[in-house]
A and B are shown apart, each in its own frame.
Chain A
Amino acid sequence: MGSQLLAAIFSHPDLAGMLAIAAKSGFIYLFLIFGLRLLGKRELGQMSVYDLVLIIVIANAVQNAMIGNDTTLVGGLVAALTILLINRVFTWFIVRQPNFKNFLLGVPVLVVRNGKILKGPMDKAGITRDNILAAMREHGLSDLEKVQIAVLEIDGSISIVPEESQIHRTHHRFKGLRIS
């Protein structure tokens, strides 16, 4: 009975089965990353509830494609670790390759300069005047005139730099963020 229990707990697919699970899981993860990228879903904070529902449903939809009928301990762990490992590799590339990062995650966008909303970049980034005003209130500002710059960050949050802050040289990689 004890050995039966151990066999049930520590069951595993054969090597070919493990490789198949790893390959399918990895393929699906890459497919979703680039699929969502093509749909323009990059900035996390801009994701609506609908986008989040979409991603959760997709994750469930692909479950059987990743591991099929496999119910073993090792099978599930192989799939999970494959995904985490690929995530790590992507993070590694994102840190070292700015172009890859920009492609995958987008760039910060300047949306307010010297108290004026930059309508073009704001519309293109898919945020509204209300989003900017809400971010200003979070920073304790109520008057657009008092905003020196506002930046839509790649995590979707909006950073506000108030007027009285002294401007220094800003990092060159922030497109459209250079301040004369």
Chain B
Amino acid sequence: MLPNLPAFLLLVSVAVRGMIVIIILIVAVRLLGKRDVGGLNIIDIIAILLVGNAVQNTLTYGSGRLDIGLVSSAVLLLTEAAIVVLVARHPNLERDVIGQPTVIFSDGYMDRRAMKEQGIEEDELLEAVRAMGLNDLSQVHLAVLEENGSISVIPKEK
């Protein structure tokens, strides 16, 4: 149901809504933990697709009009690009909004508290260890949970 607005203002409202939606969703995903960004499992995939559909009517007023679709998708792309630029210029902002790498294993010591905070399980750590072709943690020098949710494993030197 389109609001009763002149054509230009209608597109302005579409643009503003698009910006609000993408910013809120980015912040929400950040607040809900790194795990939602990387290491996706099936319930994450379902959630992502449902969220995308859930905000569809908000982005387009449920309208099939081409101009509305173009404006809303352009705004999403531009907002995302603007956030990337902003974050690149202000590293501290990235720390606040996206998070920073976390050491979860270091020379025989597994930081279980950090793992729990980040929603990483021992199984996932061991999976990353095997992905490096290593057998278990005794061969690991350092394991770091990266900002994108993947786990980097640095082997001990032979």
Q: Which chain B residues border A85 with CB–CB below 8 Å?
A: 32
A94 to B47, CA, bound (A): 15
Closest residue of A by beta carbon distance from B39: A155
Q: Which chain B residues border A169 with CB–CB below 8 Å?
A: 136
The interface on chain B, measured as residues whose beta carbon lies within 8 A of the other chain's beta carbons, has a size of: 60
Contact flag A171-B122 (CB < 8 Å), given A33-B46, A87-B36: yes
Can you list, as one digit per residue, whether each of A143-169 has a CB less than 8 Å from chain B (1) or not (0)?
000000001011101011110011111
Chain B contact residues: over half helix, strand or loop, or mixed? Answer: helix
A154-B41 in contact (CB<8A): yes
- Interface segment, one of A36-44, A114-122, A123-131: A36-44
Chain A contact residues: over half helix, strand or loop, or mixed? Answer: helix
B53-A59 in contact (CB<8A): yes
A-B contact pairs, 25 of them (CB 8 A): A1-B9, A4-B3, A8-B10, A9-B13, A29-B47, A33-B42, A44-B40, A62-B50, A63-B56, A66-B53, A69-B57, A73-B17, A75-B58, A76-B56, A76-B57, A79-B51, A81-B28, A83-B47, A87-B36, A91-B33, A104-B43, A108-B127, A157-B131, A161-B133, A165-B139
Q: Give residues in B with beta carbon < 8 Å to A.
A: 1, 3-6, 9-10, 12-13, 16-17, 20-21, 24-25, 28-29, 32-33, 35-36, 39-47, 49-62, 116, 119-123, 126-127, 130-131, 133-136, 138-139
